[in-house]
Amino acid sequence: MTKLDVEVIHMLWLIYAMAIVIPAAFLLLRAMWKPAAAWLHYLAAASLYTAGVIAAGTVYDILQHHEVFMTTVHRIFLNPLFLGAAGYLGVYAIHLLLWSGWTAGKKRI
């Protein structure tokens, strides 16, 4: 295994771990501080708007320059603001699923 392979494996483990740790932190924050739920929702709305505007702008730019190729469309993944907004939406969605499962289980008891 090369050094690059080891670095890729370490990065993948970090991504997997953060996909568990961050939603769990959201759950704890939400359980301990009631206004946190509203702030998490506001940040999700802002992230969704940001990701949507960047995606629409990228598609518009590609269509204007007649560069409709599979590789050109992936240019959007080079935008760190898009990646940050979409990444937050991913962990936010996991947090919502966990929260709804937890609260549904509490209602049955």
Domain ranges of the chain: 3-108
Residue 107: the pLDDT is 67
DSSP structural state of residue 85: H
Residue 71: the pLDDT is 76
Q: What angle do CA 58, 15, 32 make, to 5 degrees?
A: 100
Q: What is the pTM of this model?
A: 0.83
CA–CA separation, 31 vs 37, rounded Å? 9
Per-residue pLDDT of the chain (109 residues; tens, 9 = 90+): 788 788 888 889 998 999 999 999 999 999 999 999 999 999 999 999 999 999 999 989 888 888 777 777 888 889 999 999 999 999 999 999 999 888 877 666 5
Residue 72: the pLDDT is 78
Contact indicator for 30, 37 with CB cutoff of 8 Å: yes
